[in-house]
A = this chain, B = another copy of it.
Amino acid sequence: MTKKITISDVAKKAEVSKSTVSQFLNERFDYMGDETRARINKAITELGYQPNVVARSLKLKSTSTIGVIVANILHAYSTQVIRAIENVCNENGISTIICNADDNPQKERKYIETLLAKQVDGLIVVPLKGNLEIYKKLLKQDFPIVFLDRLVEGLDAETVILDNERASELAVNHLLENGYKKIAIVTASLTDSVTPRIERINGYKKALEKNGITVQEEYIKGMELDSFDQGLDELFSLDIKPDAIISGNDLSLMEILKYTFENDIRVGKDTGLITVDEVSFGPIHSPPLTTIAQPTFEMGMEVATILLDKIKDKKLKQDSVVHRHEPSLIIRNSTKKEGEPSE
């Protein structure tokens, strides 16, 4: 590597002080005469000078960078939300460092530490169970942080999250309206009491009750992704089989579709199917899949906007507001008993 040009080189070449060059870089042009300005400009382009933002960050105690830690990047939700976050950050001249905790609290912890050591100006996190103390510490020192998708038990923090109960309600009502009566719900593991899963099940129960239907506990399945086959076997071996399934998210949907495919269960005909999370292949699946879409773009925008506001306005105390977003129903054919085309 050829050696880097620094502000000193520019100052020397333009025959001014470093201070003045710095003022130029920060566009405070009234701090210098027109010809000085021109000289500096010339020197910069001739030398191909690029400021070193590491030095700048050190001095300013701000890196114009935020960290985003998602629990699991495999969810389409994560990538979509991340894209929205990046959009608003970009527009504001903020860089983002994305980290995938891979559902592992240790990893998450390590990422938080690394990001803090890197002096990020703020953090967006889809939290995992087990790092409560760290979150608390950060909140106590008023470090800018906003949570996404999940509530943390015992923590009073600003969070952007889906109205999960409403999502289930949409699903249940839609299924009932289409003549399904024995509705099951299948989600990923409940052992870590991940908010969306818990709330979606609660919403499912409430919606059934509202419709005067008794909740059957056997119709509620929460399990690790790799034991879906077994769980679905159980479900479909019940004396009274369900006639429709609500899938908790996109990853559980994949497992369900694998299962129905392998076991020749015809979606739509043999079982209704609706999933939370819109999926890319929803419209082209046969039958096309009815889904409950999350407004991922909106949610990403909001969480980023909140964080950037917090960063700008440091005095702004952490207010522990929970921002709920509305899911929306996308009706396609997997919830039509006859499986006839919708057009």
Q: Which residues of A come within 8 Å of B, CB atoms?
A: 1-2, 50-55, 57-58, 63, 65, 73, 79, 83, 86, 95-98, 100, 113-114, 116-119, 141-143, 254, 257-258, 261, 279-281, 283-286, 288, 314
Contact B281 A118 (CB under 8 A): no
User: Could you say how many copies of this chain the assembly holds?
Assistant: 2
| Beta-carbon nearest neighbor of A143 in chain B | B1
Contact B284 A119 (CB under 8 A): no
Nearest CB in chain B: distance from A30 CB, A: 25
From known contacts A100-B83, A143-B1, infer whether A53 and B119 are also in contact, taking CB-CB under 8 Å: yes
Which of A86, A100, A284, A288: most chain B CB closer than 10 A? A284
Lowest 10 CB-CB distances: which A-B pairs, in order?
A257-B284, A281-B281, A2-B141, A53-B117, A261-B284, A54-B119, A286-B286, A54-B58, A54-B57, A1-B142
Contact A119 B258 (CB under 8 A): no
Contact A53 B118 (CB under 8 A): yes
CA distance A73 to B78 in the complex (A): 13
Residues of chain B within 8 A of A119, CB atoms compared: 52-54
Contact A86 B100 (CB under 8 A): yes
CA distance A142 to B83 in the complex (A): 32
Nearest CB in chain B: distance from A257 CB, A: 4
Contact A73 B83 (CB under 8 A): yes
From known contacts A55-B58, A281-B281, infer whether A117 and B73 are also in contact, taking CB-CB under 8 Å: no
A285 CB contact (under 8 Å) in B58, B63, B285: B285
From known contacts A97-B95, A141-B1, A281-B285, infer whether A116 and B50 are also in contact, taking CB-CB under 8 Å: yes
Can you name 15 A-B pairs with beta carbons within 8 Å? A1-B314, A2-B142, A53-B118, A53-B119, A54-B58, A54-B63, A58-B58, A65-B118, A73-B79, A86-B100, A95-B97, A96-B97, A254-B284, A261-B288, A279-B281
In terms of DSSP, what is the predominant structure of the interface of chain A?
mixed
Residues of chain B within 8 A of A65, CB atoms compared: 118
Nearest CB in chain B: distance from A80 CB, A: 11
Residues of chain B within 8 A of A258, CB atoms compared: 283-284
CA distance A55 to B59 in the complex (A): 9
From known contacts A2-B141, A83-B100, A98-B98, infer whether A117 and B284 are also in contact, taking CB-CB under 8 Å: no
Residues of chain B within 8 A of A284, CB atoms compared: 254, 257-258, 261
CA distance A249 to B304 in the complex (A): 32
Nearest CB in chain B: distance from A289 CB, A: 10
CA distance A95 to B113 in the complex (A): 12
Contact B73 A113 (CB under 8 A): no
Contact B113 A50 (CB under 8 A): yes
Residues of chain B within 8 A of A314, CB atoms compared: 1
Residues of chain B within 8 A of A1, CB atoms compared: 141-143, 314
Residues of chain B within 8 A of A257, CB atoms compared: 281, 284
| Beta-carbon nearest neighbor of A279 in chain B | B281
Nearest CB in chain B: distance from A110 CB, A: 9
CA distance A113 to B48 in the complex (A): 12
Residues of chain B within 8 A of A51, CB atoms compared: 117
Nearest CB in chain B: distance from A220 CB, A: 24
Residues of chain B within 8 A of A285, CB atoms compared: 281, 285
Nearest CB in chain B: distance from A328 CB, A: 21
Contact B286 A52 (CB under 8 A): no
